[in-house]
Copies of this chain bind each other. A is one copy, B any other.
Amino acid sequence: MLDNTDRLILDELCKNSRITMKDLGEKVHLTGPATSSRVAKLEDRGIIEGYTIKINQDKLGYPVHTMISIITNSPFHDPYLTYLDTQKEFVIHNYKISGDSCYLLECRFPSTEVLDEFLVGLNKHVNYKLSIIINK
């Protein structure tokens, strides 16, 4: 399904997705056109979903990184999900999970003050357990 060269290509594109097909080819011992063709296939198969950038969220002004376990006894999740929609600026992921919690919510905030405001709103719809991420 995926040979070693494909894996090398993915590795290199992870490190630098703006590399040219020719240079990428040199890294994986292939010519430009052959590399280009491999990459096109990886795109077609949906393995490469897109080309993006890594952003430093701290420097962008969102240093407070949190994981919030969402707990609710209510079968109605819509109020919570609707609230999240109003807070998209802070939401990174909202994972539906198995276990004690319903969701695991990853968010980033500019400050603990803003986090506090967010939690006040959140608490109107669900209970939660807050964890601050100290280090990656």
Find the B residue at minimum CB distance from A102: B134
Once A17-B18, A59-B46, A59-B47 are accepted as A-B contacts, the answer to whether A131 and B53 lie under 8 Å apart by CB is no
CB proximity to B under 8 Å, residues A33-69: 45-56, 59-61, 67
Once A97-B132, A104-B131 are accepted as A-B contacts, the answer to whether A56 and B47 lie under 8 Å apart by CB is yes
Q: Is A134's CB under 8 angstroms from B98's CB?
A: yes
- Determine the distance from Cα of A134 to Cα of B14 in the docked complex, in whole angstroms: 25
Sorted from nearest, which 9 A-B pairs have the closest CB atoms?
A: A99-B131, A49-B54, A96-B135, A97-B131, A98-B132, A96-B134, A17-B51, A18-B51, A50-B54
Measured between C-beta atoms, what is the minimum distance from A72 to chain B in Å?
16
